Amino acid sequence: MKCNTKTMVATALTLALILNIGYWALPQFRGALTSFIGIAIALVCPLSMLFMMRGMQSHTDSRDKVGPVSDKTTS
């Protein structure tokens, strides 16, 4: 399965924004955040795939809730 580029970029930008805010707002945790940044970069593709699969599942669930269309003919 291939990563969706749009989802991966959106996830990466969101993650970068959260880490950037945390880095500047919480100076006492800068050392821990610096090491976490490397791990977070490696997790961008798996996280985006998780969100993409969850999104695909929600579309499938909505079709199942509607129910099958029955072809009833009157004789």
- Per-residue pLDDT reduced to its tens digit, 37-52: 778 778 777 877 787 7
If you ran DSSP here, which 8-state letter would residue 28 be given?
Answer: G
pLDDT per position as a tens digit, 52-71: 787 777 655 555 555 555 55
Q: Using CA atoms, how far apart are residues 32 and 68, in angstroms rounded to an integer?
A: 52
Contact 8, 45 (CB under 8 A): yes
Q: Using CA atoms, how far apart are residues 14 and 37, in angstroms rounded to an integer?
A: 13
The pTM is what?
0.47
Q: Using CA atoms, how far apart are residues 74 and 58, in angstroms rounded to an integer?
A: 35
Q: Using CA atoms, how far apart are residues 1 and 18, in angstroms rounded to an integer?
A: 27
